[in-house]
Chains A and B, each alone.
Chain A
Amino acid sequence: MPPQLIRRARRLATPQELREAPELEQIHTPLFSAIALDGTTIPSEVTAFNYNVGGTVSGAGGGAVTPATIFHTNLEQGNTLSAPKVFTCYAVRTFLSPLDYTANAPTLADPSNATARSNDDALDDALILYYSTVLTVSVGPKDYVRSPLFLVPGNESFAGIAHAHGQAGAAATQQYRLSSPGSVGKLWTLNTYPFVISPQQTFNAVLRNTGWTTVPGLVDDKLLFVILDGVLSREVL
């Protein structure tokens, strides 16, 4: 195990394990996994990191109908890292794509014109999901994140300039409304005490609605990404 991991890891290997550990290469890459949420009631529990590229995306949404690609996850095995890989996690983020993934075909959640009356589906879905669900991230038997989803922002969104100009006498099709929300805020960081995912140790993330009297639903089929930022140590050969 490289010296950096020895210093940073909270669960150190035994001296013998360290001597016998293979040489590893460190790269900056997150581990990420998407959950496909159906455009209906949010499920009581749905798990991320439990499938690999080529497997079926977790959840019942339209994005789950085809084998997962590198857009959905970079795991080579579900729930675990193959030996001798080790991952040190320094931050946890979530990101809800504003697109609609019904039938595994990414489309805009809301047309940007020519619709007489419409909700703002992207914004509605982001509000409902972030303010009604909780996330847990577990390694082995231990939870390292247990929190409402809004405390785990993705810090990715569009920025720039926008202005719109309507006309009182305009035709009904001239309605214009479009948003592309992204959750932003204080990053859930673990800089001083990162957690380590050891080779072949199980880990996952679970999204739950917490038993509301009436569980809210989404308008569109969405993809929610759980992102573990950190350093992956992988085999050199």
Chain B
Amino acid sequence: MTQLEVMPRRFAAPAAGTPRLEMIHQPLYSAVAIDNAAAIPRSTFFFNYAIGNTVSGAGGGARAATLFETNLEVASFLSAPKLFTVHAVRLILSPLNYTAGAPATADGSQGTADENNDQLDDAQLIRFSCALRFFVGPKDYIKAPIFLMPENTGLGGLGVTSISSAADTLQFTNNVAVHFAGKSWTMPTYPVLIANQQNFGAELVNQWTTNPTTNDDKLLWCVLDGVLGREVS
């Protein structure tokens, strides 16, 4: 238990008989499926399902959850004797379209005469209209717009464009691979502890007179970066 005692600031003294824990660096994550057939709901919850349960939300990605959507074994809490220390929070939006449970690129890369750029449009609509409430037990630890929790992961590199001199109205492409980057929401000095069997979760909040509607079915992950203390045997 030595690591557990020194790492977080809010740890109770281990009770007699507490099992030994193994510490591993591993995030807890959970996705919500955003539907393009309706406005973004006023409230959608992360971490309220486990592997095998239905993914939260109404989008095409709302299937039986696999390790792709979450790594929770039990919905809404950690089974005993596991503990988790949250050191950072990120919101990651996939650039793909998950309509009908079939991951596809959000934008055709060529041959479309008149085309939106769904990926960047959706990323902007979601990132700049949604807020997150992260709670452990009865306490809120985050209540803020999600652009303050950038994903800081995505594709980088180089885009190259060429234009044919021949007149052909179908030769029109516009493709992006975007992710949101910036100052991470970190909790280095005062991490948040999720004790075993303690309720926790996160709520995606969208409360406008007219909520925006995305072009595609999207998956948005809430990722809690930190350290998991789990049973040794």
- For residue A147, CB closer than 8 A to chain B, the reply is no
Neighbour of B154 across the interface among A69, A95, A159, A168, CB < 8 A: A159
A6 within 8 A of B: no
Q: Is the CB of B131 within 8 A of A69?
A: yes
Stretch at the interface among A10-18, A124-132, A172-180, A203-211: A172-180
Once the chains bind, are A161 and B172 in contact (CB under 8 Å)? no
Q: Which residues of A contact B182 (CB under 8 A)?
A: 154-157, 182
List residues 65-120 of chain A with CB under 8 A from any CB of chain B. Answer: 65-66, 69-71, 74, 93, 95, 97-99, 103-108, 112-114
- Among B164, B169, B181, B182, find the residue whose CB has the most chain A CB atoms closer than 10 A: B182
Q: Contact between B141 and A160 (Cβ–Cβ < 8 Å)?
A: no
Which B residues are CB-close (under 8 A) to A141?
none
Question: Using a CB-CB cutoff of 8 Å, which residues 89-116 of chain B contact chain A?
Answer: 110, 113-116
Q: Given A104-B209, A113-B115, answer yes or no on A158-B180 (Cβ-Cβ < 8 Å).
A: yes
* B175 within 8 A of partner (CB): yes
Query: For residue B110, which residues in chain A have a CB less than 8 angstroms away from its CB?
Result: 165
> Beyond A70-B205, A173-B114, A225-B145, is A158–B123 a contact (Cβ under 8 Å)?
yes
Tell which of B142, B144, B167, B212 has the most Cβ of chain A within 10 Å.
Answer: B144
The complex places the Cα of A28 from the Cα of B88 at a distance, in Å, of 10
| Residue of A156, A174, A178, A229 touching B113 (CB-CB under 8 A) | A174
Q: Are A160 and B161 in contact (CB under 8 A)?
A: no
In the assembled complex, which residues on chain B have CB atoms less than 8 Å from the CB atom of A69?
Answer: 131, 205, 207
Chain A residues, CB < 8 A from B150: 156
> B131 to chain A: closest CB distance in Å?
4
Instruction: Name the distance in Å between A126's Cβ and chain B's nearest Cβ.
Output: 13
Contacts of A182 in B (CB 8 A): 182
A145 to chain B, nearest CB (A): 17
Task: Name the segment of B29-37, B186-194, B219-227 touching the other chain.
Answer: B186-194
- A103's contact among B113, B192, B209, B212, by CB below 8 Å, is which? B209
**Residues of B contacting A106 with CB < 8 Å?**
125, 128-129, 208, 211-212
Among the listed A161, A163, A176, A187, which residue makes an inter-chain contact with B155, where contact means beta carbons less than 8 Å apart?
Answer: A161
CB <8 Å contact, A71 and B120: no
Tell me, rounded to whole Å, the shortest Cβ–Cβ distance linking A158 to chain B.
Answer: 5
Chain B residues contacting A174 (CB-CB under 8 Å) are: 113-114, 169, 172
B25: CB under 8 A from chain A? Answer: no
Given A32-B148, A98-B124: A161 and B183 interface contact (C-beta under 8 Å) = no
A21 within 8 A of B: no
Contact A71 B115 (CB under 8 A): no
A158 vs B145: C-alpha distance in the bound complex, in angstroms? 16
**How far, in whole Å, are A178 and B54 apart by their CA atoms in the complex?**
36
Cα A171 to Cα B172 with chains together (Å): 11
The one of A25, A108, A113, A158 in contact with B114, judged by C-beta atoms closer than 8 angstroms, is: A113
A180 touches B163 (CB 8 A): no
Known: A27-B192, A99-B129. A180 touches B169 (CB 8 A): no
Q: Beyond A112-B117, A176-B117, A180-B120, is A161–B163 a contact (Cβ under 8 Å)?
A: no
| B171 lies within 8 A of chain A by Cβ | yes
Kindly report which residue of chain B lies nearest to residue A111, judged by CB atoms. B116
Which residues of chain A have C-beta atoms less than 8 A from B180's C-beta? 156-159
14 further contact pairs, Cβ within 8 A, besides A170-B113, A171-B114: A70-B145, A104-B210, A105-B208, A106-B128, A113-B114, A113-B115, A158-B181, A160-B176, A161-B158, A163-B176, A171-B169, A174-B114, A176-B117, A180-B123
- Identify the A interface with B (CB < 8 A): 4, 25-30, 32, 65-66, 69-71, 74, 93, 95, 97-99, 103-108, 112-114, 154-171, 173-174, 176, 178, 180, 182, 187, 225, 227, 229, 231
